[in-house]
Amino acid sequence: MQRAPIQHCRQCGSKVAYRLPDDGDTKERAICTGCKTVHYENPLNVVGTVPHWGDKVLLCKRNIEPRWGKWTLPAGFMELNETTAEGAARETMEEAGAVFELQELFSLINVPRVGQVHLFYRARLLSDAFDPGFETLETRLFAEDEIPWDDIAFRTVRATLEMYFTDRRAGNYQMHTVDIA
C-alpha cells in the first residue's frame, strides 16, 4: 500500500511536479511549481514493545482499523520530539496500560513496500494488571503455544514474536534486523 503522492505544496499550496531537483539529487521529488520548495517523502517509524511476564507475552486486540479485532504487540507511529524508546514506551502505556521496564532494542524490520521501519523493544512487565486504552478491545498474556497465530494483525508482529520465542528457547536474546518484501 503505497502512500498517495504529494499534490500540493505544504508551504504555499501551489501544485507540485515530480522531477529531479536542480541541486544534483538523483531521485525525483515533489517540487512546488510556485515557491520551488522540495518536499521529501521519507519512511515512517513504527515503534513498540514485546512485553513479557514469565514465559508469556502481552498482546492487544485491536479496536481500530486496519486489522480491527486482530492481535498485535503494543505499537504505533513514532511522534515528533520523541526517541524510538520513548515512543515505544508511550504506545505500550496507551494501548495496554501496562507497567513495565523498557529493555533493549529487539527487532528492526524494514517494510519498504509501505515506507515503514518497525522497531520493537523488549519490555519486562512489572505487573500482570492492565488498563488498555481506546485503541484496544482486550489485552491478554499468551504462552507461545497459546498465541493466536492466525489472528496476528501484521507480518512484522508475527516475525517479532517468532524471533522472540526462538531466542527465549535458546536462552539468549539478540538484536534482529529483517526485511519484509
All domains in the chain, ordered by first residue: 1-41 (2.20.70.10), 44-179 (3.90.79.10)
pLDDT tens-digit series, residues 82-96:
999 999 999 999 999
For the entire predicted model, the pTM comes to 0.89
Q: pLDDT at position 24, please?
A: 87
Q: What is the DSSP string of 49-97?
A: EEEEETTEEEEEEESSSSSTT-EE-SEEEPPTT--HHHHHHHHHHHHH-
pLDDT at 2 over 80: no
Angle value at C-alpha 48, between 104 and 103, nearest 5 degrees: 20
Q: pLDDT at position 1, please?
A: 46
Q: pLDDT at position 3, please?
A: 60
pLDDT tens-digit series, residues 125-160:
999 999 999 999 999 999 999 999 999 999 999 999
Write down the mean pLDDT value for the chain. 96
Question: How many angstroms separate the CA atoms of 98 and 36, rounded?
Answer: 47
Burial class (CB in 10 A: 0-12, 13-18, 19+), 104: exposed
Question: How many angstroms separate the CA atoms of 138 and 92, rounded?
Answer: 13
51: its cell numbers: 512485553
Question: How many angstroms separate the CA atoms of 107 and 75, rounded?
Answer: 13
